[in-house]
Amino acid sequence: MQDQQDGVQELGPAAADMGPGVLNAEKGEKPVLDPYSNDPFGDEEFAEIKYRTMSWWYDAPAPFQFLPLLGYGGYETQAGITMIAETIALGILSLPSVMASIGMVATIILILGLGLIATYTAYVIGQFKLAYPHIHSMADAGEVLLGRAGREIFGLAQLIFLVFVMGSHVLTFGIMLNTLSNHGTCTIVFDIVGMIVCFIFTLPRTLKKVSWLSLASFISIVSAVMITMIAIGIEHPGKAVQATVHNDFYLGFLAVTDIVFAYAGHVTFFSFMSEMKDPKEYPKTVYLLQSVDTALYLIAAVVIYCYGGQQVASPALGSLSSVMSKVAYGIAIPTIIIAGVINGHVATKYIYVRIFRGTDRLHSRGIVAWSVWVALALLLWVLAWVIAEGIPVFNDLLGLIVALFASWFTYGLSAVFWLYLNRGNWFSSTKKTFLTVVNILVFGLGLALCALGLYVSGKAIQESSGGLSFSCNNTA
């Protein structure tokens, strides 16, 4: 019994009453806890399509692990860079305008503070997955917490959030083509092209295949940010900046939601972890992701704001000259596509696994399995396009969706996971008491972000003049 208790301590925030299934999972053995010990993809030894193929970093000999372009195997099995590609997109270029709204000091504190909390909550998601290996989505986690009702509520929330994020990438693709072509044709045509391109890249059924594109996405966004920083430094030298800005609550908190959205990748983490060869390496991917995105967010926000000043646009590409804006958007094309594709893949995989879980078709290359995957991907991308085009205030509505769901997926729910894992042991030691207080505060943070975010987003929708549904107008 003492060995079991020690095993639970090694696992982190896991409860002692979960039985041997948790402990055996931590030791790398096949769990025996029923019904929560079944891997979402089952036994893949003889499967036609294998899903659990990703490592946290490159599967390559030690001297070449940081040189994937030289070959030596393994780039396609990288989980860390895939999570970075899913989390960091053009939203990073909205952060300088946050500084213009609430000041440099407050923005730096929020980026560091929310980033640190997001690191912890991502780690807890991994502990919850280790405790319940069958979890593949937020729906599965909801079932653990609340039974059948929790499964349906959490699953629907995850799907709505992902579809709206997909729609935002469709619209961003149209903005990019409008910029590059000087509005060469109807914006609806550009958006349809973006939808089709994203759909095509969503067709591979494993994250291993999708991860082939992740390095290109990472290089793309870093290059776009560098170009923006250099260009705005040349074109807007000596702009006045403010350490603090006195703004009304509504505009200030509306800007804060951009930071919340920048850390909103947690909704996909169960899916990523499910396709790792060794889920216990997941914390390494979290530390890689959060160190990279926090550093990039800070550098981009500070440098661009210092040169762009109080009038910096959101995204900051709007503050560049026409030529440099086109260059930056052109470089950002892989990020615009691939970050959306990863969200689309996770949304499609959620439904696909739910339909075929426990059957041979989950791993089949047959016509039925392939047709269902293609149909689901097409349906979701068309739905994302219709929502994005058909709602005149889509961007404001996206802010509402972020407030409603990202506040919980990124912050509040992880606190619930920890409290559930440690039920009965919240005050059993000084460390547990401290962590209990921390997680109650994190839950409060999620609740506050949700409530205040709904208020400011609802007000933004009310005050927005909107536009026309399915409009050909130039959106650049």
Task: Give 396-434 pLDDT, tens digit per residue.
Answer: 888 899 999 999 999 999 999 999 999 999 999 999 999
Task: Give 39-73 pLDDT, tens digit per residue.
Answer: 899 888 888 999 998 888 755 444 444 444 433 34
For the chain, percent of residues with pLDDT exceeding 90:
70
**Distance in angstroms (rounded) separating the CA atoms of residues 415 and 407:** 12
10 Å CB burial of residue 298 (0-12, 13-18, 19+) is middle
pLDDT score recorded for residue 20: 31
Q: How far is CA 432 from CA 283, 371, 470, in A?
A: 20, 49, 54
Average pLDDT over residues 221-231: 95
Please tell me the least confidently modeled range out of 32-46, 176-190, 458-472. 32-46
pLDDT score recorded for residue 35: 44
List, in order, residues 6 or more apart from 394 with CB less than 8 Å away: 167, 168, 171, 387, 388
pLDDT score recorded for residue 37: 55
pLDDT band at 14 (very low <50, low <70, confident <90, very high): very low
SS3 251: helix
Contact 314, 306 (CB under 8 A): no
**Distance in angstroms (rounded) separating the CA atoms of residues 23 and 104:** 46
User: Long-range contacts of range 41-46, CB-CB < 8 Å, 24 or more positions apart?
Assistant: 41/274, 41/275, 41/353, 41/362, 41/363, 42/358, 42/362, 44/363
pLDDT band at 246 (very low <50, low <70, confident <90, very high): confident
**Distance in angstroms (rounded) separating the CA atoms of residues 423 and 438:** 15
pLDDT score recorded for residue 238: 64
pLDDT score recorded for residue 330: 95
Contact 133, 33 (CB under 8 A): no
pLDDT score recorded for residue 58: 57
pLDDT at 278 over 80: yes
User: For residue 327, how many C-alpha atoms fall within 13 Å in the half-sphere facing its CB?
Assistant: 14
**Distance in angstroms (rounded) separating the CA atoms of residues 255 and 460:** 12
Tokens of 325: 């804006």
Average pLDDT over residues 26-38: 44
115 compared with 474, residue with greater pLDDT: 115
pLDDT at 8 over 60: no
The mean pLDDT value of the chain amounts to: 87
**Distance in angstroms (rounded) separating the CA atoms of residues 142 and 313:** 39
pLDDT score recorded for residue 428: 95
55 compared with 371, residue with greater pLDDT: 371
Task: Note the CATH number of domain 11-392.
Answer: 1.10.4160.10
DSSP class of residue 315 equals: S
Task: Give 437-451 pLDDT, tens digit per residue.
Answer: 999 999 999 999 999
Going 390 to 395 to 399 to 400, the CA torsion angle's sign is negative
Task: Give 141-157 pLDDT, tens digit per residue.
Answer: 999 999 999 999 999 99
**Distance in angstroms (rounded) separating the CA atoms of residues 281 and 56:** 6
**Distance in angstroms (rounded) separating the CA atoms of residues 158 and 119:** 20
Q: Which sequence spans correspond to the domains of the chain? A: 11-392
pLDDT score recorded for residue 293: 95
For the chain, percent of residues with pLDDT exceeding 70:
87
For tokens 């986690």, name the residue.
141
SS3 127: helix
List, in order, residues 6 or more apart from 463 with CB less than 8 Å away: none
Helices of type H across 309-412: 322-331, 333-356, 367-390, 394-401
pLDDT band at 475 (very low <50, low <70, confident <90, very high): confident
Phi, psi of 183 (to 5 degrees): 55, 60
pLDDT band at 394 (very low <50, low <70, confident <90, very high): confident
Tokens of 431: 């460390």
pLDDT score recorded for residue 76: 43
pLDDT at 3 over 60: no
Please tell me the least confidently modeled range out of 82-96, 121-135, 207-221, 425-439. 207-221
127 compared with 398, residue with greater pLDDT: 127
**Distance in angstroms (rounded) separating the CA atoms of residues 354 and 358:** 9
pLDDT at 21 over 60: no
